[in-house]
């Protein structure tokens, strides 16, 4: 009973008016006292419903109870049993709709759920800062070569899991840096790059090899890699292809995709004068969209000096796909929300640089297939907004390179790759997971796929290659 | 890291670099390009693969000094390392036995044209090549082009080599003289625009290789987008070659200016920093 009376911990945050001018991390992390107090709320349920909300099946009560007892390194070890990237998930998982939404506090007691994400982050950070990071136990090397295509969360997870089974794993990455969206997309103030590198380093220490600047399907084909001795493949090429709206004026200068903007800033350090990559931003910046990508872009634009950093979103705040916490942080940082509006045309000056966007007001009609109410244009409601920079964040499509290089590979009508219950594609020995299978989804779903695929690949090797000898 | 094994200047502002990149040397085809990054502060810049040697495991790029990154690249020497090289990117040129192919290149566009001339010739076509430059000293790859062309026409603005006049005049002379089945045009965007207008008059199917601004080169950012036949296309994955008669060159010309001010400032600051440390020049 006493446990249920403890108040849920509040995450300490950097001052909105300081952080919106710098890249410091917004969430500062719990103190040991906070973490222990929060962990005491957990009831160590006989049937821990929270676990069913976690795509990688983290043993939540077990790690939380380690924190309560003060054995934080023990907690971190539990996390790593199922999750090779806990410091990342603790920061970016949509916990409020996953594990925490299934917590008995929410389901039965009508209280705020156990702060599982904060505790996960705390344990992972504590371990990293202690300098006593553990490396998961590895089976003895079996010498069988496995290839992973893409170094985002799905690829990293498969690589770590296969290494645990004893495989000789190589990850091929198209870009010059590792981490996929974790590096080029999600900004420093939400996910510090050092932390991503630290977690990748742990996987390196497990014996996984990484080759950057290598595009499978271009630099070498899957068949070439087979000839080099790779026995099974995992495609985790992500959903990196940005969508545009195909409205007049969209190709004027000053209008870019969120991926271009975030890549120039995050991957290329374009906002730093010591780096050669230029990046365009402005005083009046509009981001079109309402997802995490839109929030990351608008908050980045604000940090780069925008006077008005605006979201233009065609539904209302309630329907926004972005995490509630990101929207809250954005509002605190002075982001303007222009909801129920959608751009219909852009205008430029004589130099072809965007100066104005025309938007049309929307109203919500009947629910669509996603269950959200469908926005409908209001005739005659058009008005103009002065802009000098526009960032389009209206979703992404699957990366097409692997599909183009393998005409036999079965894909859906959205060009995502089809997989079976073991995450195997229509081509034996070729597995896939993450955004390339789901379309733009989440880090933890990509990791869940990775775990499942690693099991599937292990099974495949046992049934084919090892069965033959 | 990718080692530069050879470097030479072809003209005052154009350098040829041979780079160790065995996988790319093996898989590249005519029309493909690479993206490279010189060092950790560098930007990603696209360059066409002008040639490759599978046995040596090397590729050749030809780069024109126009700004910070190309300047740094032109200043590098054999033995030095490039941090990143990725490729081959883009879809390869459609090479087939077509008949008579007119290949026209302007400025440093002559470099990307060379592997196409070579492949078209090896596929059994009659290849007529027109290359253009402002003046004699800026004409590049003359011997290489001659080796793979049935006829080589050189055009210079000042008449110091070949015929005085523009690339389009050279093209038109050929078109009026004989049946041309296909044209390939590569060069500065303005040159391609007018070359395309020229062949359009005669209804000759024409391919242009577009050099839009790129970042990743894998379809991830959309920086390279252009309108082709009214539809937005990503040059790095669907191109770089498109039906020249459908490309919106005016839009492309505008998009090439997207970062003009920042690039000019960056180059000015860079040149100033070189003056401050003369040893680096
Ligand atoms: C700005 C932004 C913010 C986000 N915020 C959140 C968040 O807060 N929480 C959350 O859970 N999710 C978030 N997401 C979504 C999440 O990042 C993705 O769902 C997740 O990264 C998908 O992982 P993945 O491994 O499938 O692919 P990716 O992370 O996209 O990685 C794919 C990798 O494969 C490489 N690649 C592609 N093709 C090839 C090839 N042929 N050969 C070699 N390499 C190749 C790519 O270069 C890339 O590095 C966000 C996404 C974005 C863009
Ligand atoms: C598919 C393709 C193939 C190319 N092949 C060659 C080649 O074989 N030889 C060659 O000399 N050049 C080639 N280019 C152009 C070359 O990439 C640019 O000249 C170079 O990036 C300029 O960089 P900079 O920093 O020196 O100049 P900057 O001063 O930064 O830019 C000068 C101009 O170059 C263009 N440019 C700038 N950044 C980029 C970028 N990231 N991507 C593309 N264009 C840019 C812009 O129009 C800019 O105004 C090619 C471009 C493409 C897209
Ligand atoms: S990985 Fe994500 S969903 Fe699973 S327990 Fe951690 S925060 Fe919750
Ligand atoms: S459901 Fe909530 S209270 Fe129960 S074990 Fe999970 S986190 Fe603890
Ligand atoms: S260069 Fe990024 S999509 Fe083409
Ligand atoms: Mg530059």
Residue B95: partners with Cβ closer than 8 Å, 6 or more residues away:
B30, B116, B119, B120, B123
List the domain boundaries for chain B: 2-89, 100-256
Q: Is the pLDDT of residue B280 over 80?
A: no
Q: Is B13 helix (H, G, I), strand (E, B) or coil?
A: coil
Closest residue on chain A to B23 (Cα): A219
DSSP classification of residue A265: I
Nearest ligand, measured from the Cα of B71: 2
Q: Is the pLDDT of residue A45 over 50?
A: yes
Rounded-to-integer distance, Cα A80 and Cα A75, Å: 9
B100-256 has the same fold as B2-89: no
Residue B279 is predicted with a pLDDT of 58
**pLDDT band at residue A286 under the 50/70/90 scheme:** very high
Q: Within 10 A of A440 (CB to CB), how many other CB atoms are there? A: 19
Rounded-to-integer distance, Cα A149 and Cα A84, Å: 18
Contacts of B232 in chain A (CB under 8 A): 244, 246, 250-251
Q: Within 10 A of A414 (CB to CB), how many other CB atoms are there? A: 10
Q: Is the pLDDT of residue A9 over 50?
A: yes
Rounded-to-integer distance, Cα A437 and Cα A295, Å: 24
Nearest by CB to residue B85, choosing from A213, A253, A280, is: A213
Q: How far is the CA of B47 from the centre of ligand 2 (A)?
A: 7
Rounded-to-integer distance, Cα A160 and Cα A142, Å: 15
Give the position of tokens 């104005």. Answer: A356
Min Cα–Cα distance to chain B from A218, Å: 6
Ligand 2 atom with least separation from CA of B212: 53
Q: Is the pLDDT of residue A468 over 90?
A: no
Q: Is the pLDDT of residue B281 over 60?
A: no
Rounded-to-integer distance, Cα A7 and Cα B216, Å: 47
Q: Is A400 helix (H, G, I), strand (E, B) or coil?
A: coil
Residue B76 is predicted with a pLDDT of 95
DSSP classification of residue A267: I
Ramachandran angles phi, psi of A382, nearest 5°: -65, 145
Pocket of ligand 4 (CB under 6 A): A 42-45, 48-50, 60-61, 103-105, 114, 116
Residue A133 is predicted with a pLDDT of 84
Cβ of A269 within 8 Å of Cβ of B27? The answer is no
Q: In what order do the strands lie in the sheet with A336-339?
A: A255-257, A389-392, A284-288, A308-313, A336-339
Residue A465 is predicted with a pLDDT of 79
Q: Is B137 helix (H, G, I), strand (E, B) or coil?
A: helix
Structure tokens at A343: 């751009």
DSSP classification of residue A13: B
Structure tokens at B222: 């959309």
Cβ of B216 within 8 Å of Cβ of A276? The answer is no
Distances (CA, A) of A4 to A63, A106, A255: 19, 12, 51
Burial class from Cβ neighbours inside 10 Å (0-12, 13-18, 19+) for residue A55 reads buried
B35-70 pLDDT tens trace: 999 999 999 999 999 999 999 999 999 999 999 999
A214-268 pLDDT tens trace: 999 999 999 999 999 999 999 999 998 999 999 999 999 999 999 999 999 999 9
Q: Is the pLDDT of residue B278 over 90?
A: no
Q: Which of B109, B158, B106, B159 is nearest to B132 (CA)?
A: B106
Radius of gyration of chain A (CA): 23
Residue A38 near residue A9, CB atoms below 8 Å: yes
Nearest ligand, measured from the Cα of A104: 4
C-alpha distance across the termini of chain A, in Å? 59
Cis bond upstream, residue A288 (ω within 30): no
Q: Complex ipTM, two decimals? A: 0.95
pLDDT > 90: percent of chain B: 87
Select the residue from B213, B222, B235, B253 to test the A interface by mutation, using most A Cβ atoms within 10 A.
B222
Q: Is the pLDDT of residue A469 over 80?
A: no
Residue A361 is predicted with a pLDDT of 96
A299-325 pLDDT tens trace: 999 999 999 999 999 999 988 999 989
Q: How far is the CA of B38 from the centre of ligand 6 (A)?
A: 12
Ramachandran angles phi, psi of A325, nearest 5°: -60, -35
Q: Within 10 A of B45 (CB to CB), how many other CB atoms are there? A: 23
Cis bond upstream, residue B88 (ω within 30): yes
Query: What average pLDDT does chain A have?
Result: 94
Task: Give B100-256's CATH code, choosing from 3.90.1150.10, 3.30.70.330, 3.40.50.2300, 3.40.50.80.
Answer: 3.40.50.80
Q: What is the mean pLDDT of residues B155-182?
A: 93
Task: Give B2-89's CATH code, choosing from 2.40.30.10, 1.10.490.20, 3.10.640.10, 3.40.190.10.
Answer: 2.40.30.10
A424-456 pLDDT tens trace: 999 999 999 999 999 989 999 999 999 999 999
CA atoms within 13 A on the CB side of A52: 9
Residue A372 is predicted with a pLDDT of 80
DSSP per residue over A130-190, as a string?
HT-------PPP---EEEEE--SHHHHHHHHHHHHHT-EEEEE-SSSSSSTHHHHTS-TTT
Residue A32 is predicted with a pLDDT of 95
Which strand (E) or helix (H) includes residue A76? Answer: helix A72-82
Q: Which of A297, A351, A295, A347 is nearest to A325 (CA)?
A: A295
Question: In this complex, how many residue pairs, one in chain A and one in chain B, have their CB atoms less than 8 Å apart?
Answer: 118
Nearest by CB to residue B86, choosing from A174, A277, A352, is: A174
Closest residue on chain A to B68 (Cα): A276
**pLDDT band at residue A1 under the 50/70/90 scheme:** low
**pLDDT band at residue B176 under the 50/70/90 scheme:** very high
Min Cα–Cα distance to chain B from A172, Å: 12
A172-187 pLDDT tens trace: 999 999 999 999 999 9
Min Cα–Cα distance to chain B from A241, Å: 5
Q: What is the mean pLDDT of residues B245-267?
A: 94
Q: Is the pLDDT of residue A276 over 80?
A: yes
Closest residue on chain A to B43 (Cα): A277
Nearest by CB to residue B220, choosing from A218, A240, A278, is: A240
Distances (CA, A) of A299 to A332, A424, B11, B66, B256: 11, 39, 47, 34, 27
Residue A373 is predicted with a pLDDT of 84
């Amino acid at each position: 009973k006493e446990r249920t009376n403890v108040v849920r911990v509040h995450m300490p945050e950097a001052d909105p008016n300081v952080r919106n001018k710098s890249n410091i991390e917004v969430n500062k992390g719990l103190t040991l006292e906070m973490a222990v107090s929060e962990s005491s709320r957990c009831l160590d349920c006989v049937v821990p419903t929270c676990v069913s909300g976690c795509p990688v099946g983290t043993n939540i009560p077990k790690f939380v109870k380690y924190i309560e007892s003060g054995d934080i390194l023990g907690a971190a070890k539990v996390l790593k049993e199922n999750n090779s990237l806990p410091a990342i998930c603790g920061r970016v998982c949509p916990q409020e709709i996953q594990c925490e939404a299934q917590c008995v506090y929410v389901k039965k007691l009508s209280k705020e759920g156990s702060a599982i994400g904060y505790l996960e982050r705390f344990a992972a950070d504590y371990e990293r800062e202690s300098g006593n990071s553990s490396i998961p136990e590895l089976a003895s090397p079996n010498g069988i070569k496995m290839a992973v295509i893409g170094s985002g969360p799905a690829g990293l997870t498969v690589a770590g899991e296969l290494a645990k089974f004893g495989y000789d794993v190589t990850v091929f990455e198209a870009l010059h840096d590792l981490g996929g969206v974790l590096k080029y997309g999600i900004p420093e103030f939400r996910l510090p790059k050092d932390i991503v590198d630290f977690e990748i380093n742990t996987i390196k220490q497990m014996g996984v090899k990484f080759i950057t600047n290598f595009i499978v399907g271009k630099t070498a084909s899957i068949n070439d890699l087979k000839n080099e001795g790779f026995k099974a493949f995992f495609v985790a090429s992500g959903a990196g292809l940005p969508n545009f709206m195909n409205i007049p004026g969209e190709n004027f200068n000053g209008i870019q995709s969120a991926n271009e903007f975030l890549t120039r800033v995050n991957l290329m350090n374009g906002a730093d004068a010591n780096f050669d990559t230029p990046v365009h931003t402005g005083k009046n910046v509009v981001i079109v969209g309402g997802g995490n990508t839109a929030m990351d872009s608008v908050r980045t634009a604000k940090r780069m000096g925008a006077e008005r950093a605006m979201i233009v979103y065609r539904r209302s705040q309630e329907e926004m796909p972005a995490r509630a916490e990101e929207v809250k942080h954005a509002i605190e940082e002075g982001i303007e929300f222009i909801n129920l509006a959608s751009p219909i045309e852009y205008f430029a000056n004589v130099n072809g640089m965007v100066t104005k966007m025309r938007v049309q007001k929307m109203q919500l009609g009947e629910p669509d297939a996603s269950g959200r109410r469908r926005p409908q244009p209001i005739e005659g409601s058009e008005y103009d907004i002065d802009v000098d920079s526009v960032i389009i964040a209206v979703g992404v499509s699957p990366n097409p390179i692997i599909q183009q290089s393998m005409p036999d590979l079965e894909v859906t009508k959205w060009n995502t790759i089809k997989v079976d219950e073991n995450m195997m594609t229509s081509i034996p020995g070729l597995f896939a997971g993450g955004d390339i299978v789901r379309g733009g989804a989440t880090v933890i779903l990509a990791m869940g796929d990775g775990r499942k695929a690693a099991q599937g690949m292990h099974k495949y090797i046992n049934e084919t290659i090892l069965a033959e000898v | 890291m990718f080692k530069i094994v050879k470097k030479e200047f072809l003209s005052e502002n154009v350098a040829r670099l041979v780079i160790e990149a065995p996988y790319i040397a093996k898989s590249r085809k005519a029309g493909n390009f690479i993206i490279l990054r010189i060092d950790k502060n560098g930007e990603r810049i696209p360059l066409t693969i002008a040639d490759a040697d599978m046995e040596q495991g090397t590729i050749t790029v030809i780069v024109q000094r126009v700004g910070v990154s190309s300047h740094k690249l032109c200043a590098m020497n054999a033995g030095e390392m490039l941090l990143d090289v990725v490729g081959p990117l883009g879809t390869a040129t459609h090479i087939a036995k077509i008949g008579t192919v007119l290949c026209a290149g302007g400025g440093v566009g002559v470099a990307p044209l060379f592997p196409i001339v070579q492949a078209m010739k090896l596929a059994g076509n009659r290849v007529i090549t027109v290359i253009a430059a402002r003046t004699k000293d800026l004409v590049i790859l003359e011997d290489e082009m001659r080796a793979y062309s049935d006829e080589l026409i050189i055009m210079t603005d000042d008449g110091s080599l070949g015929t005085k006049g523009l690339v389009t005049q050279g093209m038109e002379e050929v078109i009026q003289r004989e049946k041309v089945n296909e044209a390939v045009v590569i060069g500065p965007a303005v040159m391609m625009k007018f070359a395309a207008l020229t062949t359009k008059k005669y209804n000759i199917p024409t391919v242009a290789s577009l050099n839009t601004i790129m970042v990743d080169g894998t379809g991830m950012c959309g920086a390279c987008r252009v309108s082709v036949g009214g539809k937005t296309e990503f040059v790095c994955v669907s191109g770089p070659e498109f039906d020249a008669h459908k490309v919106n060159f005016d839009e492309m010309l505008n998009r090439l200016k997207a970062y003009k001010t920042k690039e000019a400032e960056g180059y000015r600051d860079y040149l100033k920093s070189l003056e401050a440390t003369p040893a680096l020049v």
